[in-house]
């Protein structure tokens, strides 16, 4: 039988404390020993986003413990209150009624106990059956070991959850030679799920040598945790598994379900953030609740071609179940592509991607993601094009909107696949996008959007499709080419890409791009693939930014739909 948080709270005596902010967060090796930083906040802010989540200043990274509680969405996040590069991290806290406009609150979790005195790292929230929340998070103890801690709200009747207190029993899970856990590779607990036996389960990311693991722990009272003999799942050669996430999805519905839900027509998703790759990968499979084992449909044999949430700048993601709208929401960190010097100059670093609804595609082979519809209330000044042919080599400007801050939806119809360029052998799609960038003309493509483009086209971020023939069938390459995104060569100008599981002979190629000053977040194939690019043009800023539709292929393509909107500024922090 489930233990309610009322019973759990009855056995705790809470301790509040205050301490200096200390450095945390494992994924930023360059600043692991940094204690404090100084940054300037320039008044010239052409790259500060208008509707993507970010603090008013300074460094941000992982989303932590998202949940909906008493009508409010809560987002905690790793934050440096003292500077624009990583260090001095606390759990900052913001709330929202709509996942679009956010109000900042005081910091929620910060070093104050021996079990977290050297840092409060990432973690997750769990909602108990009685509706009350708890947070499990990684602390760095006085010996610099990674351990797992528990915090509860001081006042569960407060919808803002302004104050959090830690139990004196912390840490609840700790590495030891007896359990074979490396004290520097044991972090980021998941949302817990409740089994039919009345025990909660939680996963903690881990590695041993190069084998990544999702360690499984069980508890009856949420205080005394016991490590299972075997991990839920592990894979050799994958390195450290950061920020794991494990949740059910329905095989016959776009609706989301609670993390503890299990039954017929349910598959499970295991997502891991690979520290070695700096990308989020996921597996779809079956959860054996009796054996506490996850059996994926296919494992991590070839990471270069495996499923990812996002094929661009996106990491340390976290989902939660939105009980109000019966959907699962995905949040993720989009870090900068700019230099540390530029980050210090602008006074901030890092944003979060637009919250996305996430569900299992009807094929069962992959997940689908789409921006939450609440973001559409920021749309203004709509424009719409009639169906038109985009001739070979043609470039058309999209006018009537604010190109630096826009939402664009466009669909293309292509024909003549027998003339498409032949791809003789399978290769990494990101490498292929780099070799076959927007400036390289083909037969069917490249065609798509030139976002954040300067009038002379010296700067632009090209998001496009290119069609190949592979094993006698059309193969769609979906790319985001940053190679010409900025004249500032100190930026990361990487080109991103993936193959898109769409049959162009039966459906059009759709593209939606959310353009927001220094980010181009693009959804291909109605959300089958997503690429987030962080770009910093020097010419195409503010009112100088332009937007174009282009076709640099030898064959004509048809624009079957183009709708675009200027995006109003959200109220964020």
Residue at token pair 């004196």: 168
φ/ψ of 149, rounded to 5, equals -125, 165
* Distance in angstroms (rounded) separating the CA atoms of residues 459 and 396: 16
pLDDT tens, 427-473?
999 999 999 999 999 999 999 999 999 999 999 999 999 999 999 99
Q: Per the CATH hierarchy, to which homologous superfamily does domain 375-567 belong?
A: Exo-inulinase; domain 1 (2.60.120.560)
**Tens of pLDDT, residues 259-294:** 999 999 999 999 999 999 999 999 999 999 999 999
Cα distance between residue 552 and residue 7, in whole Å: 66
| Per-residue pLDDT at 36 | 45
Active site residues per annotation: 62, 141
39-71 confidence digits (pLDDT tens): 455 567 999 999 999 999 999 999 999 999 999
Give yes or no for residue 15 having a pLDDT over 70. Answer: no
Please report the pLDDT score of residue 88 as a whole number.
Answer: 84
353 contacts 335 by C-beta, under 8 angstroms: no
What does the alpha-carbon distance between residue 75 and residue 353 come to, in Å, rounded to a whole number?
Answer: 13
Average pLDDT of the chain to the nearest whole number: 92
Q: Tell me: pLDDT of 2 over 90.
A: no
- Best CATH choice for the domain 5-38+51-371 from the list 1.10.10.10, 2.115.10.20, 1.10.1050.10, 3.90.1560.10: 2.115.10.20
Residues of the chain with CATH 2.60.120.560: 375-567
pLDDT of residue 1: 39
- Residue range 400-424, pLDDT digits in tens: 999 999 999 999 999 999 999 999 9
Task: Dump pLDDT digits (tens) for 513-529.
Answer: 999 999 999 999 999 99
334-358 pLDDT, tens per residue? 999 999 999 999 999 999 999 999 9
Q: How far apart are CA 338 and CA 407, in angstroms?
A: 24
Residues of the chain with CATH 2.115.10.20: 5-38+51-371
Pairing of strands 241-250, 509-516: unpaired
Give the per-residue SS3 of 466-484: EEEEECCEEEEEEEEECCC
| Global model pTM greater than 0.85 | yes
């Amino acid at each position: 039988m489930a233990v309610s948080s009322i019973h759990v709270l009855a056995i705790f005596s809470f301790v509040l404390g205050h301490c200096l902010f200390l450095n945390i967060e494992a994924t930023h090796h360059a600043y692991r020993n940094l204690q404090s930083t100084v940054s300037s906040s320039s008044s010239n802010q052409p790259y500060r986003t208008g509707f993507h989540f970010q603090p008013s200043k300074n460094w941000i990274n992982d989303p932590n413990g998202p949940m909906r509680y008493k009508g409010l969405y809560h987002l905690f996040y790793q934050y440096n209150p003292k500077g624009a590069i990583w260090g001095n991290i606390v759990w900052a806290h913001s709330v929202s009624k709509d996942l679009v406009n956010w109000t900042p609150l005081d910091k929620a979790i910060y070093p104050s106990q021996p079990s977290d005195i050297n840092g409060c790292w990432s973690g997750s929230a769990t909602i108990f059956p009685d509706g009350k929340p708890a947070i499990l998070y990684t602390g760095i103890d006085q010996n610099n070991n990674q351990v797992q801690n528990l915090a509860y709200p001081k006042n569960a009747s407060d919808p803002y959850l302004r104050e959090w207190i830690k139990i004196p029993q912390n840490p609840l899970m700790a590495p030891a030679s007896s359990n074979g856990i490396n004290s520097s590779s044991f972090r980021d607990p998941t949302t817990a799920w409740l089994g039919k036996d009345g025990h909660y389960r939680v996963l903690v990311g881990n590695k041993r040598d190069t084998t990544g693991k999702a360690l499984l722990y069980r508890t009856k009272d949420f205080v005394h945790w016991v490590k299972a003999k075997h991990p839920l799942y592990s894979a050799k050669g994958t390195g450290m598994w950061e920020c794991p996430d494990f949740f059910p999805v329905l095989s016959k519905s776009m609706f989301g379900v609670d993390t503890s839900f299990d039954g017929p027509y349910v598959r499970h998703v295991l997502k891991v953030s690979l520290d070695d790759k700096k990308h989020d990968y996921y597996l779809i499979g079956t959860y054996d609740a009796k054996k506490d084992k996850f059996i994926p449909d296919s494992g991590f044999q070839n990471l270069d071609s495996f499923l990812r949430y996002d094929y661009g700048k996106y990491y340390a993601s976290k989902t939660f179940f939105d009980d109000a709208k019966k959907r699962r929401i995905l949040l993720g960190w989009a870090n900068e592509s700019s230099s540390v010097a530029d980050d210090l100059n602008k006074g901030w670093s890092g944003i979060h991607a637009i919250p996305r609804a996430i569900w299992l595609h009807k094929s069962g082979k992959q997940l689908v993601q789409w921006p939450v519809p609440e973001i559409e209330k920021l749309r203004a000044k709509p424009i719409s094009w009639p169906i038109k042919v985009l001739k070979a080599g043609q470039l058309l400007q999209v006018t009537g909107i604010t190109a630096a801050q826009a939402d664009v939806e466009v669909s293309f119809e292509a024909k003549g696949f027998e003339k498409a360029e032949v791809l003789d052998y399978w290769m990494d799609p990101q490498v292929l996008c780099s070799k076959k960038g927007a400036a390289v003309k083909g037969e069917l493509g490249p065609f798509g959007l030139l976002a954040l483009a300067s009038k002379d086209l010296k700067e632009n971020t090209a998001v496009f499709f290119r069609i190949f023939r592979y094993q006698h069938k059309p193969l769609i390459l979906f790319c985001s080419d940053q190679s010409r995104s900025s004249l500032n060569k100190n930026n990361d100008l990487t080109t991103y890409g993936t193959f898109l599981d769409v049959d162009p002979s039966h459906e059009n190629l759709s593209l939606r791009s959310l353009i927001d000053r220094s980010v181009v977040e693009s959804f291909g194939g109605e959300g089958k693939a997503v690429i987030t690019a962080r770009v910093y043009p020097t010419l195409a800023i503010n009112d100088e930014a332009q937007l174009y539709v282009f076709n640099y292929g030898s064959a004509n393509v048809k624009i079957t739909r183009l709708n675009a909107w200027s995006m109003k500024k959200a109220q964020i922090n």
